[in-house]
Structure 1
Amino acid sequence: MLRRTYDGQVCSIARSLEVVGERWTLLIVRDAFHGVTRFDGFLNRLPIARNVLSDRLNGLVDHGVMERVPYQDRPPRHEYRLTAKGRRLAPVLLALMEWGDHYLAGEAGPPSVAEHNDCGGRIDVRLVCACCGQDVERADMTVHRSGDHQTG
């Protein structure tokens, strides 16, 4: 398999895709968010080859997105659990889900919804200013290279 890389890209999106951009990887992370922890559990939920699943899980462990935790000695068996770094992918997954629900859901509507456990309200992914707390639309922001902006 020819590995696609983003060498030479000084971009956090490209660097992130090096970790989670391969086919199946975000679906494995999605299933981990849904409570799947064991190799066979991932196999049962995804139409993925064993060797590909093993490769993706090893990559997620190598990048610190998941950790391998032993649950049986004979034969040795491990669970795969999201780390704090992996759990920080929740907004990414929810944003992709929200986008897919909006543009790709079809007549049946969204296949799943994210709800707040306390009140049952739907979870929305929002862009919020870290300084003033105001919701921000794309037209209200500028993206620039880190060293190109002075505050104050």
Structure 2
Amino acid sequence: MFENLLPPLNDHNLPYPDTIHPIVVHFVIAMVLFAFFCDVVGYFSKNYKLYEVSWWNMFFATISIFIAIVFGQIEAGLAIAYDAAEPILDLHTIIGWSLSGIIAAITGWRYVIRSQDPQKMPLAYLGIGVLLTGLVFFQVYLGDELVWVYGLHTVPVVEAAKEGLL
């Protein structure tokens, strides 16, 4: 009934030219990692202006991760995720949603720190930054695995799946 309202899917099994999720998510990755970098350098160099750079990176990363998740959910739903790829895709999805909450919470904490004293950075916040960085790297690994190992939304895998070879 609703199938006539949807645009046709291309050879990537998408209604648009190529995946959008990786484009948006790379901004999130860069902003989160750069924010942590600025906090560490600012802490050790006493260059408190870097804390402001960090704050704005986390602020925009918090907004951007929700955009990345929307496209990630659309593209995961359209992916022909065969049995071998399912567990990785499921874990990537769970961690992605978790990261949205974690990044939002850390950004909220960062806002409180900034409001109380913009020239102060607690070591506990830097410690959480280390954990966040590790989680982001693991999420990147899973995303890379979905594309480079399992080939989701790549033309050869889409064609193989449509021919029933997967």
TM-score tier, shorter chain, comes to 0.3 to 0.5
Considering fraction of residues, name the structure with more strand.
1
TM-score by length of 1: 0.32
Q: Which has the higher contact order (CA 8 A, sep 6+)?
A: 2
Considering fraction of residues, name the structure with more helix.
2
